[in-house]
Amino acid sequence: MKTKLIAPCGMNCGICMAHLRKKNHCVGCRNPDEEKATYCRECIITNCDKLNSRHKHCWSGCDRFPCKRLKALDKRYRTKYDMSMIENLACIEEHGIREFVKREKVRWKCKHCGGTINVHRKVCSKCAKER
């Protein structure tokens, strides 16, 4: 996992099924537009005017944080996938991006083979065992 795979919304693209699949592999939100999936190119959060070279993620310092779109996305992911983008962003803000990525490596590592757990399927992308 790399810091570049952490989307502005706090999603770890490294655990996303679109990134983990071999066919039509998604490169993540932070890569050039021609390499990104259409839904990443058109994402309201990724294209937020508050993001810039200094602020690459949604932050509590933003007067709209968390915005309506981020709240809805966070609610869906907490409910369906047991993961919160807002909690991810809080961890990044408190501990820094490198520490967050270290924690994510441990959190999403398969206990059976060391592969990466797919957040959407709740199975390892390498050995297909359940989380």
Mean pLDDT for 60-80 is 90
Least confident among 43-57, 83-97, 103-117: 43-57
3-state secondary structure the chain: CCHHHECCCCCEHHHCHHHHCCCCCCCCCCCCHHHCCHHHHCCCCCCCCCCCCCCCCCCCCCCCCCCHHHHHHHHHHHHHHCCCHHHHHHHHHHHCHHHHHHHHHHHCECCCCCCEEECCCCEECCCCCEC
Q: What is the pTM of this model?
A: 0.88
pLDDT tens string 14-63: 999 999 998 888 888 888 777 777 888 888 888 887 776 667 788 766 78
More confident residue, 66 or 34: 66
Other Cβ atoms closer than 10 A to 128: 13
Domain ranges of the chain: 3-124
pLDDT at 34: 76
pLDDT at 6: 93
Gap between the Cα atoms of 39 and 18, Å rounded: 11
